Amino acid sequence: MIECRNVCFDATDFEGEKFPLLRDVSFTIGEGEKIVLFGINGSGKSTLLKLLNGLEYPKSGEILYGGALMDKRFLKANKGTFRRENVLQMQDPNSMLFNTSVYEEIAFGPRSFGFDDVDERVRHFAELFGVTKLLERAPYRLSGGEKQRVLLASLLAVEPKFLMMDEPTAHLDPPTTGWLVELLQEMKITTLLCTHNLSLGRELGTRALVLGPDHTLHYDGPVEALFERLEILDEARLLHRHRHTHEGKEHTHAHLHDWA
Ligand SMILES: Nc1ncnc2c1ncn2[C@@H]1O[C@H](COP(=O)(O)OP(=O)(O)OP(=O)(O)O)[C@@H](O)[C@H]1O
Ligand SMILES: [Mg+2]
């Protein structure tokens, strides 16, 4: 479905110095796979998702989509199909909600792609994401979790083939998170989700990718096997350490559990 071959990406600081955000990243995602991308803050997760969504281009290396090189020419020639198939829920829902009402927000994709059942789609996806009562409301006035649900309803309303989600549960309360976990587990489409929440990632993917603080890929393999490899999680700084008391003795050791 999509493949990264030795992808590198840089950014430039105020003094004009380049610094790496992704270094020599290679992996292939097959159709129907459910992948979770782990990495600490700043490791390059969101950057990688933007590259896979054709919003940025690698500095070196290449990305192939359905076997075709995903360069500017490819995206121009296949704009309609690509944008309908390959969707990204960005980390900050505010950067993606731009319509005057929730109805218009969900209708935007289906309308742009010429679906002939726009109203049915809006109502179906609004119902699925529990936002029917919000259809006439302005998206900017919604709570963080409501915005997140509207955003996911809008993205899924075009029935994409490849869904990428950047910290999808960041604004959701525990019941809504549980509901989203079930929904994503049941969905048949290829998904790539990034998070630094280990227990959530464990529920949402069968295969894991781990980006380290050095912006290289530290692991590509089954999620469950990753949790047996504490040294990889430790190297990627995904384990936290805090002091606590066992049998009267205070000591510090690494923990797998999440804070929230
Ligand atoms: N266009 C850019 N120009 C300069 N620096 C950038 C740019 N985009 C990202 N960065 C920096 O690159 C690093 C990686 O950013 P990215 O958003 O990919 O991290 P992340 O793994 O998603 O982190 P988080 O868990 O905090 O969301 C960060 O240090 C960020 O400040
Ligand atoms: Mg991010």
Q: How far is the CA of 30 from the centre of ligand 2 (A)?
A: 23
Structure tokens at 256: 């797998």
pLDDT at 245: 67
pLDDT for res 157: 95
CA distance 205 to 156: 18
Distance, in Å, from the CA atom of 153 to the CA atom of 101, rounded to the nearest integer, reads 13
Q: Is CATH 2.40.30.10 the classification given to domain 2-238?
A: no
- Going by alpha carbons, the residue nearest to atom 5 of ligand 1 is 11
CB 150 within 8 A of CB 79: no
Rounded to the nearest angstrom, the distance between the alpha carbon of 44 and the centre of ligand 2 is: 7
pLDDT at 213: 94
Q: What is the CA radius of gyration of the chain?
A: 19
Question: Which atom of ligand 1 approaches the CA of 44 most closely?
Answer: 18
The CA dihedral of 214, 56, 31, 208, to the nearest 10 degrees, is 20
pLDDT, position 131? 95
Strands 190-195 and 34-38 turn out to be parallel
Q: Is the CB of 41 under 6 A from ligand 1?
A: yes
Closest CA to 192 of 39, 77, 21: 39
Whole-angstrom distance, CA of residue 70 vs CA of residue 65: 6
CA 40 to centroid of ligand 2, rounded, Å:
9
pLDDT given at position 144: 86
The 8 Å CB, 24+ separation contacts for 75-83 are: 80/113, 82/54, 83/113
Residue 53 pLDDT = 96
Task: Copy the structure tokens of residue 4.
Answer: 């990264």
Nearest CA to ligand 1 atom 9: 47
Mean pLDDT by 10 residues, the chain (260 residues): 96 90 97 94 94 95 95 90 92 86 96 94 94 95 89 93 91 83 86 88 90 96 91 84 65 58
The CA distance from 220 to 15, in Å, is 35
Q: What pLDDT, on the 0 to 100 scale, is given for residue 253?
A: 57
CB atoms within 10 A of CB 102: 28
Report how far ligand 1's centroid is from the alpha carbon of 184 (Å).
26
